[in-house]
């Protein structure tokens, strides 16, 4: 026989009568609910940031000059940059087919050279402080990208046929840029004539040595 009282959810108490911070049912089983969006806690904690770059002809990841974008340089001493999501929309097609993806490297003890200003940046807690990391549209890091993780394709077909729509990719924190490193969008080959708008969303976490 079903006992509806077992479905009550409230504070869970230990044998000593102290309350647990976890909610539980009447039997003491922990209850979990997806009460908020995936990024809500990071956003309301003012640790969630975005940057959008409008890039012409994204360069191949093995070339340092003109890498981007966005190109995020972690010049802080006490933060980790954790990449969560990337979105992009193509506005002018490429004459060179290529994959679009993420790259990065270490050894960046000062800001990249030949940088251009980021087109848009924000703390996603509106009015929150600026990020510890610095986003650029493009720049030239000390070392070229040391890896490449593709997340999308740049086609040579007509824009109305091959490249319509906006694309969002969940990186899920798989890439972490510690102090004196950088992470950026790049291509598998220099995507001549492409114009693409790319947004990167990242969380900044404490760097614990």
Look up the pTM and report it: 0.83
pLDDT of residue 15 exceeding 80, the answer is no
**Domain coordinates in residue numbering, the chain:** 1-33, 40-206
Name the nearest CA neighbour of 103 among 152, 150, 148.
Answer: 148
Q: Beta partners for 89?
A: 197
pLDDT tens per residue across span 37-56: 889 889 999 999 999 999 99
Select the more confidently predicted residue: 1 or 153. Answer: 153
pLDDT tens per residue across span 80-127: 999 999 999 999 988 999 999 999 999 999 999 999 999 999 999 999
Name the nearest CA neighbour of 203 among 87, 85, 83, 122.
Answer: 83
Which pLDDT score is estimated for 115?
98
Which pLDDT score is estimated for 31?
59
């Amino acid at each position: 026989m079903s006992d509806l009282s077992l479905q009550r959810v409230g504070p869970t108490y230990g044998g000593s009568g102290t309350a647990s911070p976890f909610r539980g049912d009447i039997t003491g089983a922990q209850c979990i609910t997806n009460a908020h969006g995936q990024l809500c806690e990071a956003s309301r904690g003012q640790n969630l940031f975005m940057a959008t770059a409008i890039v012409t002809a994204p360069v191949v990841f093995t070339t340092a000059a003109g890498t981007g974008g966005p190109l995020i340089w972690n010049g802080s001493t006490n933060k980790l940059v954790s990449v969560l999501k990337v979105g992009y929309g193509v506005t002018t097609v490429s004459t060179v087919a290529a994959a679009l993806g993420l790259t990065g490297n270490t050894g960046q003890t000062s800001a990249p050279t030949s940088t251009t200003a980021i087109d848009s940046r924000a703390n996603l807690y509106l009015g929150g402080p600026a990020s510890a990391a610095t986003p650029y549209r493009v720049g030239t890091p000390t070392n070229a990208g040391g890896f490449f993780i593709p997340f999308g394709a740049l086609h040579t077909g007509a824009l109305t046929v091959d490249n319509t729509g906006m694309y969002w990719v969940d990186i899920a924190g798989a890439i972490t840029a510690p102090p004196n490193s950088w992470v950026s969008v790049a291509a598998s080959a220099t995507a001549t004539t492409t114009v693409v708008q790319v947004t990167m969303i990242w969380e900044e976490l404490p760097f614990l040595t």
